[in-house]
Amino acid sequence: MKKLIFPAILAVILLSSFVTSVATTALNNDLEKFYKHMGRNIKYPSTASAKNLQGNTQILFSVNDGKLEGLKIENELGGTCDVEVINQILAFNDYKSLENGKYALKVTFKLEGAKSDLKNLNIETPTDYAPLALTIVGYAGKK
């Protein structure tokens, strides 16, 4: 009997680790598609880089049964940065791959060589929203 207990416990531990790993990987792969789309398609707006505008914008949205809902600018950066993010959220066409839920996407627009202050530094994720984050790097405009 003692010989069976150890292998049984080991099997339970290994199985539970495997299930957790698969669930986490599935969620990460789903978000990976979203992040790849956003990272490849969001461009630093020329109006923002010309003004050396940098900082954070936060966009809230929900996914319900594969459909995008409740898109809202929670923290506006300006310089058409917010519009650029919203356009790419709307252009993403695979919300069926994401879990149902509320998401808060914080996008940091950062300029190499800029000496301007970053706006909206202390953005907090609203309660009940899953935080997502992305950084877009551009080059400072000449002044």
SS (H, E, C) the chain: CHHHHHHHHHHHHHHHHHHHHHHHHHHHHHHHHHHHHHHHHCCCCHHHHHCCCEEEEEEEEEEECCEEEEEEEEECCCCCHHHHHHHHHHHCCCHHHCCCEEEEEEEEEEEECCCCCEECCCCCCCCCCEEEEEEEEEECCCC
The mean pLDDT value for 11-20 works out to 38
pLDDT digits (tens, 9 = 90+) for 72-83: 999 999 999 999
pLDDT digits (tens, 9 = 90+) for 34-48: 999 999 999 999 999
pLDDT at 25: 36
The model's pTM is: 0.77
pLDDT at 30: 76
pLDDT digits (tens, 9 = 90+) for 46-101: 999 999 999 999 999 999 999 999 999 999 999 999 999 999 999 999 999 999 99
Q: What confidence tier does 143 reach under pLDDT thresholds 50, 70, 90? A: low
Using the predicted structure, report yes or no on whether residue 13 has a pLDDT greater than 60. Answer: no
Using the predicted structure, report yes or no on whether residue 29 has a pLDDT greater than 80. Answer: no
Domain ranges of the chain: 32-139
Using the predicted structure, report yes or no on whether residue 11 has a pLDDT greater than 80. Answer: no
CB neighbourhood size of 102 (10 A): 17
